Structure 1
Amino acid sequence: MKGFAMRLFHLGLDAHVVGDMSVPNLGDGDLLIVSAGPGDFATVSALIGVAKAARAKTLCVTAEPDGAAPRAANAIITIPAQTMARDTTAPSSTLPMGSLYEGALYVLFEMLILKLRERLSVTAVDMRSRHTNLE
């Protein structure tokens, strides 16, 4: 999620990561994107509640669309990959716990960045110009 926010920033969008000190007040016109691979986490559901109270839209990325967090969100993206919800009862991967989901999440977000870059007409040079020089 943090890598996705960073790439959105590189595209020139106003993107922040929950928990960072520089996160502005969430409100009407904003979109909160959360990930709840196994369908719910108490913190994710709480964040969705805060966003809704602030009249922001919510998008939940998950492998379990019937979970509490995705059901509470305005929109859902389903990644059909193993998470901790099924890693012991119906494993589909030899990778542990939610590793398959996390890898698929990374690839999905990178593909979304490529599509957004094209749609927004942002060049590689534009993106590079927004990359930190404090490394």
Structure 2
Amino acid sequence: MALVNEVLSEIQEVMTQVDDAQLDAAENIITKDKRIFVLGAGRSGLMVKGFAMRLMHIGYTVFVIGETITPSIAEGDVLVAVSGSGTTGSVVGPAQKAADNGVHVIGVTSNSTSPLATLGEATIVVPGATKAGDGVKSIQLLSTLFDQSVHITLDILTLMISRRDHVSNDTAKATHSNME
């Protein structure tokens, strides 16, 4: 149980540092009249795919960059890009291109001075440890603390959006997969 408590303590330390104003800014950008695209590599990609799934559950049109059925992104769309270091080339390059073409970019990173943090319209800093060793220190491997904290942060953002849009759990449940 000691490890469980230590991990929970790390997550709590990170989450107390996530800025409500940054979440509010992201919430204001994500609206139903916009298509939402998500991008991340490795475990960051898995976390942002979970966010895409929840956005779909609450009625958003959402796509994962890199999937074969993803359409081209266009001016006025929203891109949520996740990279712990904020320097991952396969995330920062497309995010910069999107920003240059009028896409609303929301960066999620542990590094507030990284290219990803500075190129977007909004940034959510989640200061969990990454494989680069930055952020809140952790006993966990590589970027695990960042990944856990991003998952929670994006679930909180989804909850904020669902409350703003008056989407109930029952409504979200109705869009949950029935092919399981």
TM-score by length of structure 2 reads 0.69
| Match of residue 85 from structure 1 | 132
- Tell me the equivalent position of 1:4: 51
Letter in 2 for 1:77: I
- 1:53 deviation in Å? 3.7
Tell me if the contact between 2:127 and 2:136 (Cα under 8 Å) persists in the aligned partners.
no
Alignment correspondent of 2:142: 97
Aligned partner of 2:90 in structure 1 is 43
Separation (CA, whole Å) in 2 of partners of 1:108 and 1:71: 19
How many pairs does the alignment contain? 133
2:113 to 58, 62, 66: 66
Match status 1:112 vs 2:157: yes
User: What RMSD in Å do the two structures reach over aligned CA positions?
Assistant: 1.6
**What's the secondary structure of 1:52's corresponding residue?**
helix
For residues 2 and 98 of structure 1, the distance between their equivalents in structure 2, rounded to whole angstroms, comes to: 17
Q: Deviations over 1:104-135 (max 9, x none)?
A: 00111111111111111111121111112122
Task: Say which is worse superposed, 45-54 or 108-117, in terms of deviation.
Answer: 45-54
Q: Which stretch of the first structure deviates more once superposed, 98-107 or 18-27? A: 18-27
Report if aligned partners of 1:45, 1:68 keep a CA contact under 8 Å in 2: yes
Query: Is the contact between residue 27 and residue 54 of structure 1 (CA under 8 Å) also seen in structure 2?
Result: yes
Letter in 1 for 2:141: P
| 1:26 and 1:54 in contact (8 A); partners too | no
Percent identity between the two aligned chains: 27
Query: In structure 1, how many angstroms separate the alpha carbons of the residues matched to 2:100 and 2:117?
Result: 16
Partners of 2:109 and 2:176 in 1: CA distance: 29
CA distance in 2, matches of 1:103, 1:7: 16
Q: Which amino acid aligns with 2:125?
A: T
Provide Cα deviations, 1:2-29, integer angstroms capped at 9, x if missing partner.
Answer: 0000000000011111111221221121
Q: For the Cα contact (< 8 Å) 2:130–2:143, is it kept in 1?
A: yes
Unaligned 5+ segments in structure 2 are 1-47
Deviation above 4 Å: which 4+ runs of structure 1?
A: none
TM-score for the superposition, normalised by structure 1 = 0.90
Match of 1:20 in 2: 67
SS of alignment partner, residue 12 of structure 1: coil
Give 1 or 2: higher helix fraction: 2
Contact 1:60 1:77 in 2 (8 A): yes
Q: Is the CA contact 1:40–1:70 (under 8 Å) kept in the aligned structure 2?
A: no
Task: Specify the code of the residue in structure 2 equivalent to 1:118.
Answer: R
